[in-house]
Amino acid sequence: MNILDAIMNAQNGAAVRQAGSQVGLAPDQTTAALAALVPALAAGFQRNMQSQGGLADLMSALSSGNHGQYLDRPTSLGDDAAVADGNAILGHLLGSKDVSRELATRAATQTGLSPDVLKRLLPLAATLMMAAFSKQSSNVSPAGMGGSGGGLASMLTPLLDQNRDGSIVDDVTSMIGRFMK
């Protein structure tokens, strides 16, 4: 199961409905927004996992936080801590608020939703991704987290390999290039 599916299917869609209600979106709008936002966030996770110490940093964050709560108890997405966690995650993934704004603007173009609403949804989307990773990491050994045998990498690869050529390198490079312009 890829990361987007894990988020969408958590608690029969309750996390998606809760995230949408936090920013005033209907469930179908939230689904479209997450489908536009999550691939770019996944590219950030993939890039961070492949950087020196990135996988270890992610493992540390997963083991020290209680991220899974956002999928286990979707109402926790209404807590201020959910947005704070998401903003911290975005800082690691995207590096700057300018990149976050650009991501929201591009997603708005794809979905027809307001960039302002997508900016407010973005931290919750990052929080949901980290929650899905947390749930996945509890099911695999640390050796399986980034390797070809499964774990987090297996959740990211189907989402990132947009042209289905078996390699995410070209897709991630293209995606990062679009968002860094």
Which residues constitute the domain of residue 149? Answer: 3-180
Question: CA 104, CA 24: separation in Å to the nearest integer?
Answer: 16
pLDDT of residue 143: 44
- Give pLDDT tens digits for 144-177: 444 433 455 555 555 445 555 555 445 544 544 4
At 23 the pLDDT is 95
- On the question of pLDDT at 140 being above 70, the answer is no
Question: What's the total number of domains in the chain?
Answer: 1
> What's the whole-model pTM score?
0.75
CB atoms within 10 A of CB 136: 21
- Phi, psi values for residue 51, rounded to 5°: -80, 160
Contact yes or no for 16/34 (Cβ under 8 A):
yes
